[in-house]
């Protein structure tokens, strides 16, 4: 099981066997959001909120930067490909990177307003799901004569 560990000196990705045991720190230079390759050999992750470079770490190897700027929490793996949103002011490009060849293609763009706190790919690979904040706010209510 992989998870983010927040500590006083930063946050990193840690793993622990499903059967229990000692947690093992995987990243050493910070990590915010991650996805693990289907074969369990490569961790893809961002480091900072909002936008971040996209990093890859082959387990037991060295960290490498794949992309200069992505939406920090908008990445998903599906059928040997990494899907992610790039950075943009008004529009954000949606990319698909084939993990075997390293070839990246642009699938389209999304309105950047309120975007994006997640990304998922349907099992057939034909639909991309993402979360968008449309409105935020709250109502302040006063209850009088409360008993």
- CATH number of 19's domain: 2.120.10.30
115 found inside a domain: yes
Calpha distance 4→26 (Å, rounded):
10
Is a pLDDT exceeding 80 seen at residue 147? no
Structural domain span for residue 122: 2-132
DSSP state, 48? S
121-146 burial: b if 16+ Cβ within 10 Å, else e:
beeeeeebebeeeeeeeeeeeeeeee
Q: Mind giving me the DSSP string for 30-46? A: --SEEEE-TTSSEEEEE
Calpha distance 23→82 (Å, rounded):
26
145 found inside a domain: no
In the chain, what percentage of residues exceed pLDDT 90?
60
Is a pLDDT exceeding 90 seen at residue 15? yes
Here the tokens at position 33 are 């959001």
Q: What is the pLDDT of residues 69-117, one digit of tens each?
A: 999 889 999 999 999 999 988 999 999 999 999 999 999 998 888 778 8
Report residue 139's pLDDT band, with 50, 70 and 90 as the boundaries: confident
73 found inside a domain: yes
The total domain count for the chain is 1
101 found inside a domain: yes
Alpha helices in the chain (DSSP H): none
Calpha distance 38→124 (Å, rounded):
16
Is a pLDDT exceeding 80 seen at residue 146? no
Here the tokens at position 83 are 């899907």
């Amino acid at each position: 099981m992989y998870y983010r560990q927040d500590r006083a000196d930063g946050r990193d990705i840690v793993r622990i066997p499903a059967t229990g045991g000692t947690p093992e720190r995987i990243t050493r230079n910070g990590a915010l959001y991650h996805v693990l390759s289907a074969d369990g050999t490569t961790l893809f992750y961002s480091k900072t909120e909002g936008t971040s470079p996209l990093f890859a770490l082959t387990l037991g190897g060295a960290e490498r930067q794949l992309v200069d700027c992505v939406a920090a929490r908008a990445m998903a793996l599906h059928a040997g490909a990494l899907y992610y949103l790039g950075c943009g002011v008004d529009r954000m490009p949606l990319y698909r990177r084939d993990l075997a060849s390293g070839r990246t293609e642009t699938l389209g763009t999304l309105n950047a307003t309120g975007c994006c706190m997640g990304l998922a790919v349907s099992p057939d690979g034909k639909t991309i799901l993402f979360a968008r904040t449309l409105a935020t706010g709250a109502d302040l209510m006063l209850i009088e004569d409360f008993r």
